[in-house]
Amino acid sequence: MKPADDSKYAGLGDISTKSDDVAQYYDEWAGEYNKTLADWRYEAPSHVASMLTAKLALHASILDAGCGTGLSGKALTEKGFASIDGIDVSDRSLEVARKCGVYNKLNAMDMQQLPLDIPDDRYDGLACVGVLTYLTDSLLTLREFCRVTKPGGYVAMTQRSDLYTERAFQDVLDTLSEEKRITNVHVSEPHPYLPDNSEFGDEILVHYIGYTVT
């Protein structure tokens, strides 16, 4: 059953990628976000957490890049990770995330402004769930993920199926492999993303992508 307020977030699949617009959109949504995503059967945080669990020890330090209201942080904690930091552009989403009690540190950061204020080789792993939609320069973004992740660390992320094609995401992964920044690249077949959202449904799916940083 679709939620009664499905139309309230009409245009989610095509909102502006400007940082200020994204921050405002998610600031306004933060209070209802978790419930709405549950109604839409959003399972991506759990899938990405499982990918990291398969590759990293549970004492690993994880960056939740674009943590929003904390859904990914909670999924990581449920898998047994205990050292998780989060960054996001939405201040109100970060306020909700703080109440989860699963993050060591939370910081407001605009992930379109690179480099991020994070040291090189800081984390053992990185999760980026539902965020690459708004980061249009895929190559620069993934290079930055490599920079902040230790060699041998693992990055797990999602990319919408339509944007994977539109932004030539496979070419980006191939370039990073040729630059010897990443190895052991895995790209899943398309999976349901927001199956009970009327705009996404069976039309906009999601790829789960992971790689080891070299």
Domain boundaries, the chain: 44-213
By the 10 Å C-beta count (0-12 exposed, 13-18 middle, 19+ buried), 154 is classed as buried
Mean pLDDT of the chain: 93
Distance CA 143, CA 85 (A): 19
Confidence of residue 1 (pLDDT cuts 50, 70, 90): very low
CA distances from 128 to 15, 46, 51 (A): 19, 12, 12
Rg, C-alpha atoms of the chain: 16
User: Which tens digits make up the pLDDT trace of 190-207?
Assistant: 999 999 998 898 889 999
Question: How far is C-alpha 127 from the chain's CA centre?
Answer: 6
Q: What is the pLDDT of residues 47-86, one digit of tens each?
A: 999 999 999 999 999 999 999 999 999 999 999 999 999 9
Model confidence band, residue 4 (pLDDT cutoffs 50, 70, 90): very low
Which pLDDT score, from 0 to 100, does residue 201 have?
84
Q: 198 with 13: CB under 8 angstroms?
A: no
Mean pLDDT across the stretch 3-28?
73
- Strand 182-187, strand 191-192: pairing: unpaired
**For 44-213, CATH number?**
3.40.50.150
The pLDDT, as a whole number, for residue 16 is: 81
DSSP string spanning the chain?
---TTGGGGTTGGG----HHHHHHHHHHHHHHHHHHHHHTT--HHHHHHHHHHHHS-TT-EEEEET-TTSHHHHHHHHHT--EEEEEES-HHHHHHHHHH---SEEEE--TTSSS-SS-TT-EEEEEE-S-GGG---HHHHHHHHHHHEEEEEEEEEEEEHHHHHHTTHHHHHHHHHHTTSEEEEEEPPPEESSTTSTTTTTTSEEEEEEEEE-
Separation of alpha carbons 147 and 107, rounded Å: 18
State the Cα–Cα distance between residues 170 and 200, nearest whole angstrom.
22
Confidence (pTM): 0.93
- Arithmetic mean of pLDDT, 152-160: 98
Alpha-carbon separation of residue 176 from 3, 88, 95, 152, 214 (angstroms): 40, 25, 35, 15, 10
